[in-house]
Structure 1
Amino acid sequence: MSAWLELLPVVLVAAGVLLVPGVAIAWAAGLRGTLALGVAAPLSVTTIAMTAVLAGRMGVPFGPVPVLAATTAGVALALASSGLGRRPWRAGQARPSRRTVRGVTRPAPATVAGVAGAAVGGLCAAAAVVRGVGDPARFPQTFDAVFHLNAVQRALESGNASSLWLGTVAAPERASVFYPAAWHDVVVLVVQASGAPLVAGVTAVSVIVAGVLWPLACTALAAEAFAGRTGTVVAAGVLSAAFGATPFLLLSYGTLWPNALATALLPGILACVLGVWRGGPIARAGAGIDAEVLAGARPVLGLPARKRVRPALVAAGTLPGLVLAHPNAVLSLLFYLTVLGAVAGLVWAARLRVSWRLRWVVAAAGLALLSAEAWLVAASPVFATTRRTSWPARQSLAQAAGEWLLSAPMRTPVPWLAAALVLVGAAAALRRRDHWWLLACHATAGALFVLVAGSDGRLARAVSGPWYDDPFRLAALLGLTAVPLAALGLECVVDAARGRCVERLRLPDGLSHGVLVALAAVLVAGVTGGAYAGANSRVVATWYGGHGLAGPAELALLQRLPRWVPRGQVVAGNPWNGSALASPVAGVPTLFPHLNGDWGTDRDLLAGHLEQAATDPSVCPAVERLHVGFVLDGTVAFWPGDRRQARYAGLSVEGVQGFEPVDSGGRLTLYRVVACEPRGSRPS
């Protein structure tokens, strides 16, 4: 626990990096309350990631100073655009009433309650991450984690964290390769601002993504979806920690940190979109808005057009960050917006007397949009690379459907009570036209997951390209709709039991509906062990628990590398044996910083023939050009038998003339390349 206490300042820095720029810009743009907090992270990510791109193009080292300058510019731009509306706008309220005491504006009760609910859910989620990780200096030894850790280290060393360049980590001879680097940019800033080791920065960001970003975003979405009903907003914040698929799964599996960050941004952005739609067909159909909200709040059923400008501008401002966090999140957002638009169109056509000609025009426009989306997903060159990736189905269609119904996709633990609340909420949404969009989004996302998880057919391959045909990435979308549905379900349960609760528990007669729902949410978190914190910690621990690349002895050797390797020299080694971790663990540059890549002529030559340095005249010139001075050799324990490992057969130098052992640890031995040293230059 002392190690986690030492990490606390780094966690606070990570919270500041991910929230402060966005809060400042959202406030300047005129947003207030839960919505301002919900979109803070998306705006921060846009600011940070775009700063990295611009700094890279201008040759300016990326760091806190450029980000501060970009934040200032963003605030100025937001202030200029805020004149498009007259008053600050709060989530779930059309015309917010200001409560002023001695000239100080107090936040609305829904905002305070929502933040409190997010705090409860956030503590539960953070506890799950802390228990799952175990040691803040620990990192998952997975395929993708190797790239991400090396990319952060490369950005720290070079000062270039641009998404237009970071892909060169696995293609070093190319001048630029795009890779969505927003997550890496955030970690770089945290490490620079806190002075913490790289892995500590990664762990701190994971804690904040799960414990702060996700619950705040869910609270903002609930405030918009349920018109600011206080108890339901609190319930969404508390229950945001109850589902293992979101946000915990991608923080460990893969390990897909960038995709996890992008997924955590989605609810806040969708809340902004709902703010634009308020007063449209969905809101006008809202017979389900309760009397507590309607009392004295008639404008909630319709917003003037000018009141939609600010959330529209802010939503547009979040899109660059979403693209640079992970492009498939943009497709996920487009997917939800399409369903939302379709439901709105159906409600509009059913409730209003519209000519058939206009209906046909709208239907044709919708069909054109769907066709464009289908082309983008299944045939466009944008996702050509990811479409070539294929993961075989791991289960049947029926099993996948059952997992989605139980809110436990990809064998994550079943959150029984939360799953039951989701089903109750789905039934309630079916009865209320203003919530049809939420039910439709949940069902359609579930259908997509079921198809990809349970089928290897052509249709599954065609629609899953942006998600790498990987059901884990689609499973992580569960929480986006499951959380608000569970909150709605809890509200319905409280409504049904309200009279009995007041009578049997001797509660005050005047206890409001919102307070009862909030208390019920806290009770659910308590009886489920902190919103299933124990079960969700096991989800995180699943991929944090292995040592396939480097165990304690191998890691100790990697940490000793700076004693042996002079500055400016590079360490070669089969990356599959753990040598690829030398850079993020010890700051020593490695020849192959990922398990697979487009390495170029010289690196490919050494990968296949370095052991022939004493006999092949083409090897030593390549060694000198690449500044290779050492080799880490050892057996491979990670994915043994993978055919891609044969590419590095020439890096096995044990007992080979021209290679001198200098240190060892576990499966690894460090060798000095003496075959290419001029005579008389060998160190004594």
Structure 2
Amino acid sequence: MFWTYAGTIGTYLIVLVVPGILIGAAAGLRGWALAGLAPSLTYMAIGVTGPWLATAGLPFTVATAASSVLLLTGLAAGARLLTLRRRRRREPVAAGTDPAAPGDPAEPPTYWSGRAHTAVAACVLAATAVSIVAVLSAAGGTTAVFQRWDTVFHANGVRYIAETGDGGLYGMATVNFYPDGAFYPNAYHLVGSLVYTLTGASIPTVLNSITVPIAGIFALSLVAVVRQFGGRAVFAGSAAIVAGSATTGAYESVSSGLLPFALGLVLTPVGVVAAQRFLKRPDLDTGMVLGLTAAGLLAAHSSALFGAILFTAPMLVQRWLRREGKVGRDLLYLAAAGVVGFIVSAPHVIGAMAFKSSGGSSVQPWVTVIPVGEALKQVATFQQILDEPQMWLTVLLVTGILGIRTLGSMRWIAAAGVGFSALFVLVASYSSLPWVITISQPWWSDRYRLMALAAIPLCLLAGHGLAELQRWLAKAFSGLAWVQVRPRVPGRIGLASAVVIVCSLATVTGGFYTNANATAVAYAYHNGPETEETEPPVSAFEVAAMLEMGRLADPGERVLNDRKDGTVWLYAISGVQAVAGHYNPGSAPPDARLLANHFREYASNPEVRAAVERLGVRHVLLGSGSITPDIPRAPGLRDLDGLPFLERVFSNPDAVIYALTK
């Protein structure tokens, strides 16, 4: 089991970075920009491949996905080659040299030593390790099933794509919303389907493997931002450490079961990296990278693109105020790059517009009336769902704000922090106001999502605070007389002080808040805090019954089940379609509603028998737990024992299977 899980994680990491590195390197990306943008370019490549293949009537497979990656790599290489030829004509250089390096304006303006790069990489790995420990501790096992609301939709979607080859934006929803499906961006599921196909692991194992490094990706994205804007290596490493520690960043989104949103969130920061590179040197290669990055963010989660635009806006304002660029020219160039993104992600854009025009995107706000002071306290203490605030991160945040002057070209981050925090407070405190609902629609007017968005600039500011503490400590030691008389010591003070600061933070936070973050992530595996003592919708006995159902089911049949219990996971677990494939009762198919309310009338109701025949129902599977314990089982599925047209063929403490005998 350990090696299966390790192999699944390893496979996901390969799928996550290799396509993006191929495309990014071909487009001229190097160093931390390449590393940071690689995941978003991967999700772009895979996320647009599925819908385009579906449009062309072709299956989405490992082979077709790989072919698409190679095609995009060739296009990126072509854009890079044209860029170099254009620059050679404008700027003659010595033969055999690359005119775009090292004096390329798009590249970071400051030098990092090899030791600095190694130290920053160590910090990213440390954040990833913290993420792995937190998620594995929360799950309690490699095959643990996510218990929150939408996780079953994502699980069923991954299996659907892998088994059918349908990579379209509507198909995977047919598991529940049959026969027509519903629009949903599916880059997360397409990548998951590749991992599932390549490893043969169970769907819960695949979802867990994708979740495990989530904070590590966040750390990598923040490092790419700091590096691109000329920040110190200590700042970059500190930001990575904070990203792995802050509950309100990646972990809280996972705790709510918002798996694609969590992915989009941790990719959001790299949008500003691609934008800054393009504006520093507008050309075919940098423009293509920006367009592809935008497409990747949209494919991962539509809110990621909106968040990246908002995150980039303060950078643009600072650029214009400093007269580093002209407003009209910059907006024109950005629009041109946006055309690239639109072309690549046209199925997503068209699908989203059609979805919105049909009323499918209407937002039902999560009405909350938290006092403004309490909302400000939550955002400043990185605390929303847990009982204890992360006060040491608050200390670092305050330190970073006090040291704002030393941020230099990155002072725009403070404006982003103020703007995102204000948006969170508005939704947390005034969520019922129509204009608040309107401006927060990309995040479904959900304060949890907006807290996560605010965590992006706040983690950078807290990372800056940690770096400032290192600077002050190094300066204090460097001033000592015994240090100054030893020629080799001053050069080592910086590294030593950084190690001391990071180790101190690890000590006072109990290992970078690993236990707190594991507690938060565990909500996803318990359908809320364990202290509520509610029975999870999906138990181990129910999983066993679903696997048994896989052996009993006839080819092509749909198994009748209750929408509120864990049996909606039937398809993800066993590959057998269920009548109810999601907890969500909205837009449930008419036959599913009919059977849920009247199946007990099978012997006397011809409409029920006709629905059973249309769906090919031959078995009934009922579990015990419920996603909403206060709502009773559907009336048509109560008290089935003893009905003359059913025979109990399997049971265990949490589940029962009936066979239809007539």
The two structures share one fold, judged by TM-score above 0.5 = yes
Residue matched to 1:328: 303
> How much has 1:412 moved relative to structure 2?
7.0
Partner amino acid for 1:220?
Answer: A
Residue matched to 1:135: 141
CA–CA distance in structure 2, aligned partners of residues 430 and 239 of structure 1: 20
Residue matched to 1:556: 544
Contact residue 221 and residue 271 of structure 1 kept, 8 A: yes
- Label 1:536 to 1:658 Cα distance change in 2 as closer, same or farther (>3 A): same
Contact residue 445 and residue 477 of structure 1 kept, 8 A: yes
CA–CA distance in structure 1, aligned partners of residues 481 and 557 of structure 2: 75
> How much has 1:182 moved relative to structure 2?
0.9
Query: Which TM-score applies when normalising by structure 1?
Result: 0.82
- Tell me which moved more, 560-569 or 623-632: 560-569
> How much has 1:97 moved relative to structure 2?
11
Contact residue 242 and residue 531 of structure 1 kept, 8 A: yes
Contact residue 660 and residue 672 of structure 1 kept, 8 A: yes
- Label 1:571 to 1:126 Cα distance change in 2 as closer, same or farther (>3 A): same
- Label 1:156 to 1:493 Cα distance change in 2 as closer, same or farther (>3 A): same
> How much has 1:10 moved relative to structure 2?
0.8
CA–CA distance in structure 2, aligned partners of residues 233 and 616 of structure 1: 67
Partner amino acid for 1:515?
Answer: L
Matches within 5 A, 1:403-552: 403-411=378-386, 413-429=388-404, 434-458=409-433, 459-502=435-478, 503=480, 508-511=488-491, 515-516=495-496, 518-520=498-500, 522-527=502-507, 528-546=509-527, 547-552=535-540
Partner amino acid for 2:635?
Answer: A
- Tell me which moved more, 457-466 or 496-505: 496-505
- Tell me which moved more, 443-452 or 155-164: 155-164
Partner amino acid for 2:463?
Answer: A
Determine helix, strand or coil for the equivalent of 1:632: strand
Residue matched to 1:576: 564
Determine helix, strand or coil for the equivalent of 2:368: coil
Matches within 5 A, 1:14-33: 14-33=12-31
- Label 1:89 to 1:463 Cα distance change in 2 as closer, same or farther (>3 A): farther
> How much has 1:514 moved relative to structure 2?
5.4
Among candidates 175, 179, 188, match of residue 169 of structure 1: 175
- Label 1:136 to 1:382 Cα distance change in 2 as closer, same or farther (>3 A): farther
Residue matched to 2:261: 259
> How much has 1:433 moved relative to structure 2?
5.5
Residue matched to 1:640: 629
- Label 1:384 to 1:157 Cα distance change in 2 as closer, same or farther (>3 A): same
Residue matched to 2:164: 158
Residue matched to 1:214: 218
Contact residue 138 and residue 544 of structure 1 kept, 8 A: yes
Residue matched to 1:103: none
Partner amino acid for 1:529?
Answer: G
Q: Please, which runs of 5 or more residues in structure 1 have no aligned partner?
A: 100-105, 279-304, 353-357, 366-376, 676-684
CA–CA distance in structure 2, aligned partners of residues 517 and 393 of structure 1: 44
Determine helix, strand or coil for the equivalent of 2:620: strand
C-alpha distance after superposition, 1:404-455 (max 9, x if no partner): 1122244475332222112211222256552331000011100111111122
Partner amino acid for 1:186?
Answer: V
Residue matched to 1:666: 653
Determine helix, strand or coil for the equivalent of 1:650: helix
> How much has 1:310 moved relative to structure 2?
3.6
CA–CA distance in structure 2, aligned partners of residues 634 and 230 of structure 1: 53
Residue matched to 2:94: none
How many positions carry a matched residue from both structures? 612
Residue matched to 1:657: 644
Q: Is residue 69 of structure 2 the alignment partner of residue 67 of structure 1?
A: no
Residue matched to 1:188: 193
Q: Is residue 271 of structure 2 the alignment partner of residue 269 of structure 1?
A: yes
CA–CA distance in structure 1, aligned partners of residues 132 and 210 of structure 2: 11
- Label 1:418 to 1:131 Cα distance change in 2 as closer, same or farther (>3 A): same
- Tell me which moved more, 64-73 or 264-273: 264-273
- Label 1:420 to 1:190 Cα distance change in 2 as closer, same or farther (>3 A): same
Q: Please, which runs of 5 or more residues in structure 2 have no aligned partner?
A: 85-97, 333-351, 528-534
Q: Is residue 300 of structure 2 the alignment partner of residue 314 of structure 1?
A: no
C-alpha distance after superposition, 1:288-340 (max 9, x if no partner): xxxxxxxxxxxxxxxxx35x654432121022221121111111112222333
CA–CA distance in structure 1, aligned partners of residues 104 and 121 of structure 2: 14
Matches within 5 A, 1:225-264: 225=229, 227-253=230-256, 255-264=257-266
- Tell me which moved more, 661-670 or 75-84: 661-670
Report the identity percentage: 24
Partner amino acid for 1:75?
Answer: T
Query: Which TM-score applies when normalising by structure 2?
Result: 0.85
CA–CA distance in structure 1, aligned partners of residues 177 and 396 of structure 2: 48
